[in-house]
Amino acid sequence: MGAQLERAGNGRASPARPSVGPAPGGVSCALSEHAAEQQPPPPPSCLRGPMTAAETASAPTTVEYIRYRIPEDRSAEFLAAYSRAARQLAESPHCVDYELARCEEDFEHFILRITWTSTEDHLQGFRTSDLFPAFLAEIRPFIKDIDEMRHYKATSVRGAGSAVPTLYEWAGGAEAFARLTEAFYTKVLADDLLAPVFAGLAPEHAEHVALWLAEVFGGPQTYSATQGGHSHMVAKHIGRDISEPQRRRWVNLIQDAADEAGLPTDAEFRSAFLAYVEWGTRLAVYFSGPDAKPPAEQPVPKWGWGAAPPYQG
């Protein structure tokens, strides 16, 4: 189970598969065997830096669960040790996120959840990095208390509940986005900088954009069903050579239209709304350029309350 931990403690790569259960002789025995092995460093592909936002969204991440049974009289020491060890996880480019949870029904049970960019990145990247020895030093006293240590892949069964309303719901639903685009395109067609870009605007254009925004912010997938996915929207910008001043005017006018249409003005909604507008308009400028290549078919993006990861490509 914990065999890879001590083997990797020497900063060497381990060819072992992700552990799937207790090793013969128990966790402590298996871990000490790990310490004795020495392997050559991993290839450069295993040492890649942080992923881009697009890569993170589509990457085959893996979730490692480590289940502990810690006696009550050692729980404070255990939590303090992991508070220190977590600094190494936070610094690792292979770690997406982590969380240590404690059972409500039985305080002796803890589960550490770590999302890695991949199983290989965990075993051949983090465990051979300069961060791992310090991580291992903190948790070593609790290795014998591990009940399970395995990697898990997500299935297609996933989704969000309704405890937190979508941006679509918070905005006021379909009617709110219809008011928004009606007010917005009225302003656009009267604007000296943007009117030439939208010359010959189809009568249904505002309605289609309302459907797009509604779907992006968590509403019905009507745009996808009637118009197409992300590539369909991108295609409308190919070759238009949109300038930065035009993009900025677009951003300003849609914010004015949001006020006029009565969209919520709370800081959380408006920051999420503007974040999408900035992201979307900058992509529009890029795809309108002379050297832009249309992307592969992709679904309509989904935008929530949180911030998108930074682009580091």
Distance (Å, whole) CA 218 – CA 86: 33
Which CATH number goes with the domain that contains 269?
A: 1.10.490.10
Q: For 72-102, write each residue's pLDDT tens digit.
A: 999 999 999 999 999 999 999 999 999 999 9
| Whether the Cβ atoms of residue 134 and residue 233 lie closer than 8 Å to each other | no
Distance (Å, whole) CA 91 – CA 113: 16
Asked if residue 254 has pLDDT above 70, the reply is: yes
Q: Specify the pLDDT at position 5.
A: 66
- Judgement on whether residues 179 and 144 belong to the same structural domain of the protein: no
Give the structural domain span for 81: 3-152
- Judgement on whether residues 145 and 8 belong to the same structural domain of the protein: yes
Is 157 among the domain residues?
no
Q: Specify the pLDDT at position 201.
A: 84
- Judgement on whether residues 136 and 10 belong to the same structural domain of the protein: yes
Is 297 among the domain residues?
no
Which CATH number goes with the domain that contains 85?
A: 3.30.70.100
Q: For 266-294, write each residue's pLDDT tens digit.
A: 989 999 999 999 999 999 999 999 888 88
| Whether the Cβ atoms of residue 37 and residue 3 lie closer than 8 Å to each other | no
The secondary element (H helix, E strand) that includes residue 147 is strand 146-152
Asked if residue 27 has pLDDT above 90, the reply is: no
Distance (Å, whole) CA 286 – CA 295: 12
Is 298 among the domain residues?
no
| Whether the Cβ atoms of residue 191 and residue 261 lie closer than 8 Å to each other | no
Is 75 among the domain residues?
yes
Is 162 among the domain residues?
no
Q: Specify the pLDDT at position 123.
A: 98
- Judgement on whether residues 175 and 271 belong to the same structural domain of the protein: yes
Q: For 128-151, write each residue's pLDDT tens digit.
A: 999 999 999 999 999 999 999 999
Tell me the torsion sign for CA atoms 38, 44, 49, 51: negative
- Judgement on whether residues 120 and 192 belong to the same structural domain of the protein: no
- Residue that is last in its domain, among 102, 123, 152: 152
Provide the Cα torsion 206, 212, 217, 219; round to 10°: 100
Count of domains forming the chain: 2
- Judgement on whether residues 99 and 210 belong to the same structural domain of the protein: no
Predicted confidence band of residue 17 (pLDDT cuts 50, 70, 90): very low
- Judgement on whether residues 87 and 178 belong to the same structural domain of the protein: no
Is 223 among the domain residues?
yes
- Judgement on whether residues 148 and 46 belong to the same structural domain of the protein: yes
Is 262 among the domain residues?
yes
- Judgement on whether residues 145 and 221 belong to the same structural domain of the protein: no
Q: Specify the pLDDT at position 23.
A: 38
Distance (Å, whole) CA 267 – CA 4: 46
Number of Cβ atoms within 10 Å of the Cβ of 307: 9
Is 309 among the domain residues?
no
| Whether the Cβ atoms of residue 45 and residue 129 lie closer than 8 Å to each other | no
- Phi first, then psi: give them for residue 101, nearest 5 degrees: -115, 150
- Judgement on whether residues 65 and 188 belong to the same structural domain of the protein: no
- Judgement on whether residues 74 and 34 belong to the same structural domain of the protein: yes
Q: Which amino acid is at 243?
A: S
- Phi first, then psi: give them for residue 226, nearest 5 degrees: -105, -25
Give 218-241 as a DSSP string.
T--SHHHHHT-SHHHHHHTTTT--
Q: Looking at residue 200, what DSSP letter applies? A: T
Residue 259: partners with Cβ closer than 8 Å, 6 or more residues away: 265
- Judgement on whether residues 228 and 258 belong to the same structural domain of the protein: yes
